[in-house]
Amino acid sequence: MTVYVAECNDAGLCSSWAGPSGQVVPYQPIATPVVNATASGTTIAYTWSAQSDGLTETLNVCIAGSCTNYPVPATGGYSGSFSATYGNSQTETITAHLTDTAGQSSGTASKSATTAAAANPAVSVTGENGSTTTASGTCSGKTCYFFAVSASNFPANTGLSYTCSDSGGVYWGSTSQVKSGSATINGSGSGSFTTWCVHANDGETVTVTVTAGGKSASGTYKT
C-alpha cells in the first residue's frame, strides 16, 4: 500500500499531493495451516504447510505428542515433512496452529492416521523330510511320524507352547492323543521346530496348535 498526502484549508483550497510514501504491506487475518498424515504399513508420513499473513509468524507443529516451533517469514510461507514407524494398529495425530507478532492466532489443523493391523498368526505343518521315520525307543519301538512346524506372525521374542494330536492314533503305548512341547519365537515373530506327534495311521489328520504371547493358531497335516 502507498500513501499520498495533501493539505487543505477551510476554503477548500488544497496543496499539491506530497508523496508517495514508502510502500507497506498490510497483514491479513491469520490462516489455518494445512496438515496431512498418511499411513503405509507401520509407517506414517506427515506433511504441514503455512502461509504468511504479512507478519512474522510462529508455526507450532505437534506430531504424536511431540511439538516443535518453526518461524514463518512475513512474506511467503513454510512447509515441512516427517515420517516415523510405529507398532501395528497404532493411531497417531499431527496438529498445527499459527501465531503472529500482532497476537493473532489461527485455528488448529489436525489429521490422524492408523498403521496396519498385524497379520494373523499362522502355523504350517509338514512331514519331516517328506516321509515317516522310525525312531526306536522314542515311540516304544513303533513307527512314528515326525513333523516340521513353522509359526509366523506371533508376538516377537516370546516363548511358544504347542500341542499335537491326531484323529485316533496313540503313542507311548497309551491311549493319550495329545503331545505337548515348547520352543521360542524370534524377533521377527517366527519360530520353527520339529516334533514327533503320534502313532498315526495313514490317512489321519494331525493338528498342531501353537500358543505364544497370548496368540494361538493351528496347522494340520494328513498322514
Q: What confidence tens digit (pLDDT) does each residue in 114-132 have?
A: 999 989 999 998 876 544 4
Is residue 4 classed as helix, strand or coil in its secondary structure?
coil
Classify domain 122-222 at the CATH topology level.
Immunoglobulin-like (2.60.40)
Q: Is the pLDDT of residue 81 over 90?
A: yes
Tell me the domain boundaries of the chain: 34-114, 122-222
CA distances from 218 to 7, 125, 151, 162 (A): 95, 9, 9, 9
CA distances from 28 to 62, 71, 79 (A): 25, 17, 19
Q: How confident is the model at residue 21 (pLDDT cuts 50, 70, 90)?
A: low
In angstroms, the CA 178 to CA 196 distance is 11
CATH number of 34-114: 2.60.40.10
The tens digit of pLDDT for each residue in 148-200 reads: 899 999 988 999 999 888 766 555 445 455 678 889 999 889 999 888 765 55
Q: Is the pLDDT of residue 103 over 60?
A: yes
In angstroms, the CA 92 to CA 41 distance is 13
Asked if domains 34-114 and 122-222 share a fold, the reply is yes
Is residue 213 classed as helix, strand or coil in its secondary structure?
coil
Give the per-residue pLDDT at 207: 86
